[in-house]
Structures are given as C-alpha cells and as structure tokens.
C-alpha cells in the first residue's frame, strides 16, 4: 500500500478508504460479526482509513466494535449534520448540535477522539463562522484531530477558508465529494480549489452507485438494489456510457470495478477513494485491484467517452443550493414581477 498525505495534516492514509455505510444493518449487511470480519480483512490488507457517519444507522457501533484493540492504527472519520430525529435541532451544523452530536459519535465508536470530523452537508441556516468556531473548540479539547466538509460547492469551500483565516479558526482540511468516470464535474472547480488550499480530497461513489460494477447492461434487467429508489442508476445516457466502458476494461485486461477505482485514485487532487463493500466477496474483488494503474492510453479513451469536467446525468444525492431548492429565492412576489 502506497500511503498518501491527507492534505497538509501530515496524516498518512491509504488510497483505498473503507466506507462504512454498508455496515449499517438497516440498509447493508445485517450481520454485525460479518461486518467486523470485513473491516478486519480490510485493515489487514493495509487500508488504514475508515469513514462513517452518525446518520448511517448503527454503522458507528459496528465500526467501534471492529476497532477494539486496533484503534491506534486506524484513521477514523465520521460526519455530522444529517437529521437524526424529527427534532429540528438534532441536525445541521450549529454549535448546539455539533457539541451534542460529537459526544454521541464518540460513545458509539468507543473512542476518545475522532481523527477527521466532517460536516456531512453544510447548513445554509448556520453561519459558517459558528460551525468553524465549534469545530475549533473540539480540536482544542482533543476530541477531534482535523475537520472537513462533504459535497460542498467550490464557492463554499473558499468562503470557509477565508472565514477561518480572518477569525483565527481551524480550517477545513478535507472535502468529500462524489467522483467517478460518469461524474467528473468536480474536476472543473472543486478539485482545483482543494488543491489550491492544500486540502485532502476523499471521493465517494467511484462505482457510480453500482453502474460501474459491470452488473448493469443495456436492455437487460437492472438488478441493483438501489434501482428501486434511485433514479440515476437507470438513466439510459449513463447506461450507454457504461456500454462503451465495458469493452475498454476488457481490452485493458481488468474488471470494471478495477477500472473505476484506478481512475478515481489517478487524479492528483484525489487523496483516497471510498469503497463500500457489503460482503467479503465484494471486498476481495476490490482488493484485487490495489496494484492496478491505468495507462495514459486508457485514460485518454475514458476522456473520449466522458470528457474531463463533465458528467452524464446527475446523481440523486447531488448538492442542490438553496437558491434552486427554495422557489421563494428564485421568484419575485407576483406583485413585483412585471417590468
């Protein structure tokens, strides 16, 4: 395993990071002991970075159980801000909620500190200075080592960096955006910005939520579990692109999963790509691609299918700014609309 530095934190992490969403009983592997075995095998293979979130059901408890006796050798990341109940104050990025949520995560993880604490989604209702101030206090208290964001637009990343500098606060050290062969839009602004500020970038969704596993083919039944509730995995434009990538992977002598992961970690702005195995077989397949490096010819062919900085379709989980979500922010009152 060739470890990479997580931005300018000095922390060394593996290019493959273990995402723990699939260890949540309700949506992933229902067998805690099996999940623990999967985590242990990933650690034994040299993966030293585990990423989870408070909103991932019982994932934090499973990860905490797996790390007993091995915590010191793992870079542990979790997230906050997604709703944890119907209470409007048990979500978001306010100081009030962050201070409570971090204690809950520490308890579930069975640890006294979190190596990387990330804001799952920036909260437009909370001043970023308020969020950074709370996170700064957690770092000074020794409960958190570094802080980051997830799926933040480039403009918000820049604003947060400037606020941290002006106010003397800890700054976001990482960003966790979606990135795959089919979703390359972060190459346009997000990756250049994170590189400019020396941030680590931990990409999620390198398999485009299952489309880049080779299991989805044109004019065949889509057997992905997500197909029942996620629209983009049935997008014909995306499936057409996959049909061009499958023979490319075959010519390169590798399965689609290896092509997808090798692409994700080849970008100089990407520190690690998150894998989310649900079973031991899934993990074994992915570990088989650790030594794969894509040639310039293969990367050029990928650029022809999906040009740099573009995406085919859009993810259901894509960030949608308030200005687009809230109709009131894009329509004047009726009485003011006429010229």
Task: Name the pLDDT band for 322 (thresholds 50, 70, 90).
Answer: confident
Cα 107 to Cα 61, 70, 318, distances in angstroms: 9, 17, 30
pLDDT at 24 over 80: yes
The string of pLDDT tens digits covering residues 208-266 is 988 898 776 666 665 555 544 555 566 788 889 999 999 999 999 999 999 999 999 99
Task: Name the pLDDT band for 108 (thresholds 50, 70, 90).
Answer: very high
Report residue 280 CA to chain centroid gap: 21
pLDDT of residue 227: 47
Active site residue 3: no
pLDDT of residue 111: 98
The active-site residue out of 56, 117, 179, 197 is: 56
The string of pLDDT tens digits covering residues 265-313 is 999 999 999 999 999 999 999 999 999 999 999 999 999 999 999 999 7
Q: What is the pTM of this model?
A: 0.92
More confident residue, 220 or 23: 23
The string of pLDDT tens digits covering residues 29-72 is 999 999 999 999 999 999 999 999 999 999 999 999 999 999 99
Which neighbouring-strand residues pair with 144? 114
User: 292 and 258 in contact (C-beta within 8 Å)?
Assistant: yes
């Amino acid at each position: 395993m060739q470890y990479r530095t997580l931005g300018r934190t000095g922390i060394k992490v593996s290019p493959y990071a273990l995402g723990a969403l699939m260890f949540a009983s309700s949506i992933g592997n229902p067998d805690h002991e099996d999940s623990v075995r999967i985590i242990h095998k990933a650690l034994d293979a040299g993966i030293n970075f585990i990423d989870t979130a408070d909103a991932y059901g019982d994932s934090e408890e499973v990860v905490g159980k797996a790390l007993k006796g091995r915590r010191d050798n793992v870079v542990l990341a979790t997230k906050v801000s997604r709703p944890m109940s119907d209470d409007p104050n048990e979500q978001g990025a306010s100081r009030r909620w962050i201070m409570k949520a971090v204690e809950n995560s520490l308890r579930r993880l069975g640890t006294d500190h979190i190596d990387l604490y990330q804001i799952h989604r920036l909260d437009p209702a909370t001043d970023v200075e308020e969020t950074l101030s709370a996170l700064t206090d957690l770092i000074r208290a020794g409960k958190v080592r570094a802080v980051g964001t997830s799926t933040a637009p480039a403009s918000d990343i820049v604003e947060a960096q400037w606020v941290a500098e002006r106010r003397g606060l800890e700054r976001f050290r990482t960003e966790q955006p979606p990135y795959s062969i089919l979703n390359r839009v972060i190459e346009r602004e997000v990756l250049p910005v994170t590189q400019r500020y020396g941030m680590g970038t931990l990409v999620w969704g390198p398999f485009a939520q299952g489309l880049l596993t080779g299991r989805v083919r044109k004019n065949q039944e889509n057997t992905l579990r997500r197909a029942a509730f996620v629209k983009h995995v049935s997008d014909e434009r995306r499936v057409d692109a996959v049909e061009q990538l499958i023979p490319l992977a075959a010519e390169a002598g590798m399965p689609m999963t290896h092509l997808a992961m090798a692409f994700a970690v080849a970008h100089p702005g990407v520190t690690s790509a998150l894998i989310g195995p649900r079973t031991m077989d899934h993990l074994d397949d992915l570990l088989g691609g650790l030594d794969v490096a894509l040639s310039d010819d293969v990367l050029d062919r990928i650029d022809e299918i999906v040009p740099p900085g573009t995406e085919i379709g859009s993810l259901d989980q894509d960030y949608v700014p308030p200005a687009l979500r809230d109709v009131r922010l894009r329509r004047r009152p009726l009485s003011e609309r006429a010229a």
